[in-house]
Amino acid sequence: MAYVIGVDVGGTFTDAVLSDEAGTIVAAKAPSTPPDYSEGVLDVLAVLAGQLGRPVADMLADTHHVAHGTTSSLNALVTGHVPPVGFITTRGHRDSIYIMNVEGRYLGRSPEELQNVLVQGKSHGLIPRRHAWEITERLDRDGTVVVELNEDEARTAIASLLEDGVAAIAVSLLWSFRNPAHERRIRELVAEADPDVFVSLSSEVSPRIREFARSATTIMSTQIGPGLRDYLGGRKALDAERSAAAIRTRIAGPLGLSVEDAAAAIYAIQNAQTGDLLRKAVVEAGHDPREFVLYAFGGAGPAHCAAYAAEVGVREVVVPLGPVASAFSAYGLAASDIVLAAELSDPSAFPMDPVRVEKNFAHLEAQVRDALDRQGVRFGQVDLAREVDMRYSMQLAELATPVSEGPIDAAELGATAARFEQRYAELFGAGSGFREAGIQAITYRVRATGALRFSPGLPEVARASGPDPSHARTGTRPVRLGTGSFTDTAIYDYSKLQAGHVIAGPAVVEVPTTTVVVPGGMSGTVDPLGNLIIITNQESAR
């Protein structure tokens, strides 16, 4: 019997899910144990083994692989609990990470904050200037060496950084993604000085054009690379009285509304803004939100999801509530195929040189295959997909455009350009394209999908005899959603629902970890896995 185990280390709990070829699924939880999270991992493995009725050692001996994920890196970056790192870049360009293309002042702010220019401030740079060194070297846009790497300067910078006690060094040189030789040489020089120091190269972390984002990504990667630090966590109880008081004094009073009206307004505005953000995120990535199913998880999401899904035009919402839903990140780790991507910026104008394109893809394919091999997992099948980000000449944004398998020739590149133009017209309206301006290919990408040799199924829940969920209904209470008045609304106990039950909105489903709202005019169906599928009706979303 071969097991796959997924372990997700969170701030509060460490979740684990074990699956096997026979379809067995076992989920377990144990408290996380900061600062040494490995204890929590061992604890949860012991719980899993206990559920299997086997010793831990035996279970692990039969385990094919353990997939591990954690939010601690993100937490470390957000809270700034990262070790000091050094940064080495091209002479004349250190300040890129402080100038932040100017937009560091406002990115990610709300409309109200955006227009309140006078209260804005740039965030501090990721690292203090004394840890950011410039060294003499230069490449041009083709990767040609303009100025040779000055190794003495590099050694001086490295020695000074190490003397200052940095835990790791990030290296990001201009155009290094076109020619990584200088970055690699600097890594060798660091190793000569101290072989134990962690080094990240921008040409490996994020080999794409636009140095600010590439440098920032490399620095952050370096900050979390050497080790994980402690992070925040914990649970907070909701105090209804104090919530009402906060709404009364901060919102309801100034607006001349009742607390209930203000709360309803908060709910509706939250839904509208989430909907707008979601639409923007989806549209800006080049997708049509109407083609998506919305997956709503977490503690608060299911209270809002049906309303904002309808705002965005999403017809179907899945609220994961099945037996392993509370450990679904761990399940995902245990059940997922492994997908790796490699990309390479090589800007050129259409028609691109087929030999060069072929070479780019060959390089990327070798890179992702190698990376998959390093996972140490025996895959059932490995699929590779190619794409290239294209745009009309000098556009800022590119559209990811699929490229067919097989040899690259002028005909295939022509077909790729045609696919780009077709997708562009779909997004911005017929006639909005302008081929006369020229087309450029910027970034090449290969995604490799390593399929697991078995795919763990999910356990099904008991099947109901009919759609009527009355026996799970615990009663009614007045509930108000949006502009309407309080309406007597059915309340359901999730633990009593079975597959096939259909809940007509307005209704509230109470789950230990969340509360699901099914607005009036919509319906929710329990699927065989125990998830609640809400079909939205856009007219009744408000």
Partner 1 sequence: MSMPVPGSEAFSSRPVDPQALAASLPASLPVHTVTREQIDALDPLTYEVIRHRLWSVTEEMGEALKRMSGSPIVTDANDFDFAIGDELGQEVQVGLYNTMLVGAVDLAIYWTLANRAENPGIGEGDMFLCNDPWVGGGLHQNDALVYQPIFCEGKLFAWTSALCHEPDLGGMGLGSFSPAAQDVFSESVPTPPVKVVRDFQLQRDVADLWVRRSRVPMLVGLDLRAQVGANNVGRERLLAVIARYGADTVKAVMKRMMSDAEHRLRAKLSSLPDGTWNATGYQDQSHEGDRSLHKITLAMTKCEDHLTFDFTGTDPQAGVINCTYAGMRGGVMLALLPILAGDIPWSAGGLMRCFDLIAEEGTINNATFPAAVSRGPIGPAWLTGTLVAECLSQMLDRSVDLGRSVQASCCGTWDTAVIAGLDERGPRPLPFLNIMMEPMAGGYGARPHVDGMDTGGLFCIPMGRIPDTEMSEFLYPMLVLWRREEPDSGGPGRQRGGVSASLAVTPRGTSLPIGLVLASAGKAVAQNNGLSGGYPGNTGVEILARGTDLGGMLAAGTMPADLATIGGQQELGQNYSQTYLAPGEVMYMHWQGGGGYGDPLRRDPQAVAADLREGKVTAEAAAVIYGVVTGAGGDVDGGATGQARDRLRRQRRDRAVLDGPAPAGQVDPAAGHRLDDNLVRVLDAGHPVVACAHCGQRLGDPRTGATLALASYEGPSAAAGPQVTSDPAAYVDDPVVFRQYCCPACWTAVYSGIVPAGHADHVRDIGRLIPAVSRPADAARA
Distance CA 256, CA 409 (A): 68
Residue with Cβ nearer partner 1 (111 or 478)? 111
Distance CA 161, CA 168 (A): 9
Token look-up 């740039």 returns: 122
* Three-state secondary-structure class, residue 446: strand
Binding status of residue 350 toward partner 1 by CB under 8 A: no
Q: Which stretch binds partner 1 (CB under 8 A): 69-77, 156-164, 287-295, 426-434?
A: 426-434
Binding status of residue 129 toward partner 1 by CB under 8 A: yes
Can you read off the two tokens belonging to residue 140? 């041009």
CB of 472 to partner 1, least distance (A): 33
Residue with Cβ nearer partner 1 (134 or 412)? 134
Binding status of residue 260 toward partner 1 by CB under 8 A: no
Binding status of residue 8 toward partner 1 by CB under 8 A: no
Q: Out of 108, 407, 429, 478, name the contact with partner 1 by CB under 8 A.
A: 429
- For 218, list phi and psi in degrees, rounded to 5: -65, -40
Binding status of residue 276 toward partner 1 by CB under 8 A: yes
Where helices occur in 285-408 by DSSP H, the ranges are 301-312, 328-335, 354-374
Residue with Cβ nearer partner 1 (91 or 185)? 91
The size of the interface with partner 1 (CB under 8 A), counted in residues, is 82
Token look-up 């955006």 returns: 114
Q: Which of 445, 205, 452 is nearest to 338 (CA)?
A: 452
Q: Out of 136, 217, 525, 540, name the contact with partner 1 by CB under 8 A.
A: 136
Burial (Cβ within 10 Å: 0-12, 13-18, ≥19) of residue 144: exposed
CB of 79 to partner 1, least distance (A): 23
Site residues for partner 1, 465-504, by CB under 8 A, read 482-483
Which 8-state DSSP code applies to residue 197? Answer: S
Q: Which stretch binds partner 1 (CB under 8 A): 22-30, 205-213, 326-334, 522-530?
A: 205-213
Distance CA 502, CA 498 (A): 9
Q: Out of 22, 119, 238, 285, name the contact with partner 1 by CB under 8 A.
A: 119
Give the H/E segment covering residue 26. Answer: strand 25-31
Binding status of residue 423 toward partner 1 by CB under 8 A: no
Residue with Cβ nearer partner 1 (43 or 389)? 389
Q: Are strands 294-295 and 316-319 parallel, antiparallel or unpaired?
A: parallel
Residue with Cβ nearer partner 1 (125 or 469)? 125
Distance CA 328, CA 297 (A): 10
Q: Interface mask (CB under 8 A) for partner 1, residues 69-108, using x and -?
A: ---------------------xxxxxxx-xxxxxx-xx--
Which 8-state DSSP code applies to residue 8? Answer: E
Binding status of residue 537 toward partner 1 by CB under 8 A: no
